[in-house]
């Protein structure tokens, strides 16, 4: 299976964009990714290249200066970026996700204030949901926002914030009514600028993988923001807004899974034709043929599931089921394919001289990020049971 992330894309513009990104990844990313990754260094030259291709504005509406391309195109772009280095698709993820939330649910004033700045980008974005005592159960957050005249006063702590030190605006989930039942009705999302008094950027976490992009903690100590910072202008709708935006994030993470799995497969099938054991290339041994065939099928299925979810999002319909299926399957097979790739390579896969060990450290993050695999299964189950009334 030759790697071609444009094969199932119908839109000619999207095919061209994805192909161009793939060419850039081969030329600019793959030769230097491991160097940046091992140093845990933010890849400024690569981020600049992404910016020059317009990728940060890929989902920003044209009237605000963006490209306004399809989610199908975005998924293909993220596959290519992750094929080169998974962290690049992570750097762009929260930016596109928050931009989508603003363009879809923000007031016109919020759109005018932020969206043009996200295109170049003059300003970067971060999403802030998780807390020390609230991860998969997002409705259990404790960060509060209390109305005080024309302002809100925010207090609490957030964890695992991607782009936490570099963002200019943060989409933050808070509780404006802790006693609300059901709980989601008491949740409100705020757009908080990086220089807000009382908003504190905390430590950067040292991670197993997902290097080069910072993941931080945040704190709010009587941080005062104007009421105009409420996303969409109304309290109590933040959970729905952020869950819709997370559909975009899950498409991104699914695409990352496809990209990493494809990179592992590409490396493996080439290596299997060169490495000789027992007098012939190891590809001619049936055990390796079966392993590579299974990898190819899994990657193909994951790619189609991911594109299907992206097309559903493009249609304007609710896509939590489709995005959940894609995210669950693509990330789980990425883990499987990377381990199979290490088996094909043998001991050399454990060396930092090859990117296999990087894939192996990056893969587990995707099983956890944007909702764990178990959470995806719950989302899927709750959705499919509606088709089988008793």
Cite the active site residues.
Answer: 370
Nearest to 96 by CA among 234, 236, 249: 249
Per DSSP, 60 falls in state S
| Residues pairing with 190 in the sheet | 172, 230
Strand partners, 155: 144
Cα separation values, 255 from 90, 237, 297, 330, Å = 11, 28, 16, 7
Cα separation of 30 and 264, whole Å? 13
Cβ neighbours of residue 377 under 8 Å, at least 6 residues apart? 328
Q: CA 107 to CA 229: how far, in whole Å? A: 10
**Cα 142 from chain centroid?**
24
Contact 65, 112 (CB under 8 A): no
For residues 246 and 258, what is the distance between their CA atoms, to the nearest angstrom? 18
Task: Give the Cα separation of 210 and 358 in Å (integer).
Answer: 9
C-alpha dihedral, 188 to 191 to 194 to 195, nearest 10°: -90
């Amino acid at each position: 299976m030759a790697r071609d992330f444009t094969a199932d894309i119908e839109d000619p513009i999207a095919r061209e964009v994805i192909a161009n990104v793939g060419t850039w990844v081969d030329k600019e990313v793959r030769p230097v990714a491991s160097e940046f990754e091992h140093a845990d260094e933010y890849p400024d030259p690569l981020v600049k290249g992404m910016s020059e291709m317009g990728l940060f504005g890929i989902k920003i509406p044209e009237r605000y200066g963006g490209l306004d391309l399809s989610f199908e195109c975005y998924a293909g772009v993220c596959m290519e970026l992750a094929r080169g280095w998974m962290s690049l698709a992570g750097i762009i993820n929260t930016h596109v996700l928050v931009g989508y939330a603003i363009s879809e649910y923000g007031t016109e004033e919020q759109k005018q204030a932020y969206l043009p700045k996200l295109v170049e980008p003059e300003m970067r974005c971060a999403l802030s949901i998780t807390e020390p005592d609230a991860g998969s159960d997002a409705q259990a957050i404790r960060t509060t926002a209390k109305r005080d005249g024309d302002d809100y006063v925010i207090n609490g702590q957030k964890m695992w914030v991607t782009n936490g030190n570099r963002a200019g605006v943060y989409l933050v989930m808070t509780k404006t009514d802790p006693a609300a039942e059901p709980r989601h009705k008491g949740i409100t999302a705020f757009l908080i600028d990086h220089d807000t008094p009382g908003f504190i950027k905390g430590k950067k976490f040292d991670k197993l993988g997902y290097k080069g992009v910072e993941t931080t903690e945040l704190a709010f100590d009587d941080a005062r923001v104007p009421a105009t910072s409420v996303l969409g202008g109304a309290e109590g709708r933040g959970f729905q807004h952020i869950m819709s935006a997370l559909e975009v994030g899950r498409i991104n993470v699914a695409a990352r899974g496809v990209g990493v799995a494809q990179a592992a497969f590409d490396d493996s099938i080439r290596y299997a034709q060169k490495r000789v054991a027992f007098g012939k290339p190891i590809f001619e041994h049936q055990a390796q043929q079966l392993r590579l065939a299974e990898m190819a099928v899994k990657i193909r299925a994951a790619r189609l599931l991911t594109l299907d979810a992206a097309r559903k999002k493009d249609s304007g319909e609710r896509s939590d089921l489709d995005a959940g299926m894609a995210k669950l399957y693509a990330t789980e097979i990425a883990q499987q394919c990377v381990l199979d790739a290490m088996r094909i390579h043998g001991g050399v896969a454990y060396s930092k001289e090859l990117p296999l060990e990087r894939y192996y450290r990056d893969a587990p993050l995707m099983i956890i990020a944007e909702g764990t695999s178990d959470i995806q299964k719950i989302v899927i189950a709750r959705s499919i049971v509606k088709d089988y009334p008793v």
